[in-house]
Chains A and B, each alone.
Chain A
Amino acid sequence: MQFLPELALLGAALVIFLVSLGKTDADKMKTVAICLGITVFAATLFSFGQKGSLFYDAYKIDLYSQVFKTLIAGAMVVVLILGRKLKDIQKTVHPEYYLFLFISVLGLMMLVSSVELLSIFVAMELSSFAVYIMVPMRNDIGNYHFQMEAGIKYLLFGVTATGFMLFGMSYLFGLTGSTQLAVIMEKLSHIYNQPAAIVAIMMVLAGFFYKLALFPFHFWVPDVYEGASNETTAFIASVPKLAAVALLIRLVSMVNGEGQIIVNILMVCAVLSMFYGNLSALVQTDIKRMLGFSGIAHAGFVLLGILTFQISGYANALYYIIGYVVMNLACFLVICSVSSNGENVQIKDLSGLHKRSPLLALTLTVALFALAGIPPFVGFMGKFMLLAGALRQGYLLLVILAAINTAIAIFYYLSVVRVTFCSDPDNKDSVVSGLFTNMTSIVLLLIIVIMGVAPQRFVDFATFTVQSMM
C-alpha cells in the first residue's frame, strides 16, 4: 500500500509497453494514457496518509513525499490532457512516448521518497534518461535536426551535472562514512563550514540545480525548450521542478543556517539566476524560449525561500513552486492549443487571441500576470512571502535585488499580453479548444486566483508538510 503510486506507475508503463508491441491507434492510445494517468493520481491520493520506510531505510514514505507525489501525479495528468494530441510526434511512436513519460514520472516519484544517496542517484537517472529520449522524439522540420541538437544538449549537460553530483556524493560518503541522509545530516552538523563539506554539498546540489534550471546549470534551458515538442517542454518545465525542489529542501535542511558560506553561495546563485533569466527573456520572440528564461528567474526566487534555512522559508518555496507549476501549465496549455501542427509558437502568432479564443486568451493573460507577480494572483503572494521571509532573516540587499527583478520581468510578460489582448487577429484562424482543454484551463485559472486570494490554508498545509519531514 505504501508503494502503491510507484506500483501503479510501473504497471501503467508495462501496459503501455505491451500496447506498443502491437499496432495501435493514436486516438485510443491517448485515452489509455489519460486513464492510466488518472489511475496513478488516484493511487497517490489513496496512499496519502501512509507512513513508513522501505528498502533498508533508503526509501521513506511520509507526508512530505506523499504530498509531492500527489502534486507530481496531478501535474502529469494536466500535461497528458493539454498535450493529448501530441501534434508534432509521429503517430507510430506515441506509445513509446507515453512509456518514457511514465517512466520519467516514476523516477521523479522515487526521487521525492529517497533518503539515501544511492537511491537518489538511481531515481534521478531514471527520470532523466527517459526525458533525454523524449526530447528528440519530434518530427524533423526542414531537416535542421534541431530536436536532435536539443536532445544532445540536454543529455550532455545532464550527464555533466550528474557527474558533479556523484563526485559530491563520494565526498559526502568520505566525510561521514554513510550514504543515509539522516546519518550524514548528523555528522555534517559539526563540519559544515569545512571546505570539503562545502564542496561536497555544493556539488550534490548541482544535480538539482540542473533539474531546476538554476544558474550556473541553466545553459540547456532555452535550446531544449525550443527544440523539444510543446508537450515535452510542458512536462520538462513543470513536473521535474517539483521533485527538484522537494529534494533540494531535503538536502539543504542538512546544513542549518550557520553554514554561512553555503548561504552566500546560494544567494549569489539566486541573484544571478534572476538577472540572467529576466534579462535574457526580454529579447525572446519564441514564447517557449521566453518561458524557459523566465523559469530560470523563477528558480532563483524559489532559492530565496530555501536559503533562509527556516521551516517557513521552505514552506514558502513549496508554495511558490506549486504556484509556478500551475501558472506554467496554464501557459503551456495555451501554447499547445494555439500551435495547430505542433510547431513552435512565436509571440506574434498569439495576436488577436482574444477573438480567436476568449477563454484561452484569458487563461494566458492571467497566467502571465501571475508569473509577473501582479496581485491578486498566486505569483504575487508567493513572491511577497518569499521576500518577507528573506527580509526577516535580514537579507535586505537580496530582497532589493529580487524586487528590482520583478520590475524587469514585467516587460516581457506584458509584451505577450499586449499581443494576445490588444491586437487584432489579422485573419488568423480561430483556435478550437475541446471541452477537456476548456475545463482544465478553468480549473487552472481558479487555482491561480484562489491560491492568490486565500493563501492561508495552502501555506499552513505547506508548513505542516515541511515540518513533518524535519
Chain B
Amino acid sequence: MDQLLINPNYPHILSTLIFLPLAGALLLLFVQNEYFARFWALGIATLTAILSIPLVRAFDQTSAKFQFAEQYSWINSLNIQYVIGIDGISILLVMLTTLIMPLCILASWSYIKTRVQTFMICLLIMETAMLGVFMALDFVLFYILWEAMLIPMYLLIGIWGGPRKIYASIKFFLYTLAGSIMLLVGIIWLYKTNNYSFFIPDMMWRNYSLTAQIYLFLAFFLAFAIKVPMFPFHTWLPAAHVEAPTAGSVILASVLLKMGTYGFLRFALPITPQATTLLMPYILWLSIAGIIYGGFTALAQQDMKKLIAYSSVGHMGFVTLGIFVMNLEGIEGSILQMINHGITTGALFLCVGMIYERTHSRELRSATGVGKYMPIYVTFLAFFSLSSFGFPGTNSFVGEFMILAGAFKHSIPLALAAIPGAVLAAAYMLRMLQKIVWGGTDNPDQSWLKDLNLREIITLCPFLFFVFWIGLGPQPFIDLMHISVINLLEQFHAHQGQAVAAAELIFH
C-alpha cells in the first residue's frame, strides 16, 4: 500500500466530496417544494465545489502517489476495500466535475419545469458517482460507481429528453452496459491473478502473459472506447446528446466522455503495457478516423446539438491520439485537452440550450441571424466557438498543440493525417457561428428574442474565465499532472521493451 499518501490535514476530504451530494439527494426525496429543490441542489453542488478547492492547494506536485487517500475494509470475504485517492491524472477531472455541477444546475433553472425534485436528485447522484469513478482505487468500487451512474443518466435522458428520448436513452444504456460487461470479467480475472485483491495500484506494472494482456486490453478497450466514444463505437453519442436536456448534455460531454480516456490512462496503460504497445498503431489510426469522420459529419449537420456532438467525436479523437502516442507531450496534452473539451463543449451545449429555451428548436435554420438581437449571447458563443477549433490564445489551442507535437514526435505521417481534422474543426465551427450571428437574407424574424439574463451570464462566465486562463497560462495545470505523467511513462517504457521482443516473435 505504499502507493498511497495520506494527507493528515484533510483526512476525509474525498469521502466528503463523494457523499455530500448523495446525502443532499436523499434529503430531496422527502421534499415536495420545487423552489426549495432548486436552491438546495445548487447549494449542495456549490458547497461541494468550494470544498474541493483545498485539493488543489494541498496537492503535492512532487509526488506521483495517490494523495488524500482513505482506506477502509468494506467486504472482507472478497477482499473488497473502500480505497480512494487522487493523483495528477485524476485531480483535474475531479475539479472539473465539482466545478461544472453547480453550473449545470444553474443552467436547468428554468429549463426543467416538470418533476424538478427528481431531476435534482438525479443530478446529485450523478455527481456522487462521477466523483467516485475518478477517485476509486478499488476495482469493484470503480465498477459499481461506473455502472450505477447509468441509472440517473438514463433517467435524465429518458424523462426530460426530447422527442426521441426513449430510443436515445435505451441506446445509451445498452451500449455502455454491454461494453462494460467484459470489463467485469477482466476485473475478476485480475482479482484471481493478483492474490485475490482488487486494489488497483497493485495490479499495475505486473508481468501478465502477453495473451492475457491482449484479452484484458480488448476488454478495457471495449468498455472505454464506447464511453469515449471512439469511432466506430460512437453512434450512441449523437442520439444521447441530441435528446438529453441541456444539463444532461453538458454532463455527458464534459465528464462522462472523459471517463473513457481516464480509463485508458488509469487501467489500460499500466495494467497491460505490452498489449498497449502491440495494439497502439491500430488505436492511433482509429483516433485519426474519428477525428476526420467527426469533422466531416459535423460539417453536414443542420441540428446544432448534433453538430457539437459530432465535433466531440473529433475532439475526443485528438485525446486518444495524444494518449497512445506515448510521450510526455502527447499525454499531458491529452489530459489538458480532456479538461478543455469539458469546458468548451460544455459551454457550447449550454449556449445551444439557451437558444433552445427561446426558440424551442435546435435547427440551425431557425437560429440564424440572432446576433443583432442577442449581442451578449453571440459574444460568448464566438469565444467558445473559437476555443472549440483551437484558436491561439484559447484553451484548446494549447491542448491540441501539445498533442500534435507529441504526434509529430511519434510519427510524421500520423501527425499529418490529423491536421485535416483541425482544419475541419475551424470549418464547421465557423459555419455555425456565421449562421447564428449573421445568417443570410432569409433569416426568420428574431426581433422578439431576449438577450441573456443575469443567471445565464453568470453560468457562462466561469467557462470563459477558464478558456482564457488555460489558453494564456496553462503552466499551473500542467504542473499538477507533470510528475504523475512522467512516472507513468517511465514505468511504461520499462515494460515496453519486453513487448517489442514479443511482437517480433509473433509477427516474424
Contact = CB atoms under 8 A, between A and B. Distances in A.
A411 B170 contact: yes
Interface in A375-426: 375-376, 380, 384-385, 387-388, 391-392, 396, 399-400, 403-404, 406-407, 410-411, 414-415, 417-418, 421-422
B184 A391 contact: no
> Which of the listed residues B159, B174, B181 has the most CB atoms from chain A within 10 Å of its own CB?
B181
A387 B192 CA distance: 12
Interface in B129-171: 140, 143-145, 147-148, 150-151, 154-155, 158-159, 165-166, 169-170
B141 to A, nearest CB: 10
Chain B interface residue bracket vs A: 35 or more
A215 interface: no
Interface stretch (B72-80, B101-109, B310-318): B72-80
Nearest to A358: B118
A163 interface: no
A459 B74 CA distance: 12
B158 A391 contact: no
A422 B74 contact: no
A463 interface: yes
B95 interface: no
Given A380-B144, A403-B182, A407-B177, A385 B170 contact: no
A422 B75 contact: no
A410 B174 contact: yes
Contacts of A385: 78
A27 interface: no
Nearest to A366: B151
A320 interface: no
Contacts of A403: 181-182, 184-185
A404 B158 CA distance: 24
A414 B154 contact: yes
A411 B78 CA distance: 29
A143 interface: no
26 contacts: A312-B77, A354-B118, A369-B151, A374-B147, A374-B148, A375-B145, A384-B184, A387-B185, A388-B78, A388-B188, A388-B191, A391-B185, A396-B185, A399-B188, A403-B181, A403-B184, A403-B185, A407-B178, A411-B170, A414-B154, A418-B158, A418-B170, A422-B158, A422-B169, A455-B75, A463-B77
Interface of B: 74-78, 115, 118, 140, 143-145, 147-148, 150-151, 154-155, 158-159, 165-166, 169-170, 173-174, 177-178, 181-182, 184-185, 188-189, 191-192
Given A391-B185, A421-B159, A456-B77, 12 more contacts: A354-B118, A384-B140, A388-B188, A388-B191, A391-B192, A396-B185, A400-B182, A418-B166, A422-B155, A422-B169, A459-B75, A459-B77
Leading 7 A-B pairs by shortest Cβ distance: A375-B144, A422-B158, A407-B178, A403-B181, A391-B188, A407-B181, A375-B148
Interface of A: 312, 354, 369, 374-376, 380, 384-385, 387-388, 391-392, 396, 399-400, 403-404, 406-407, 410-411, 414-415, 417-418, 421-422, 455-456, 459-460, 463
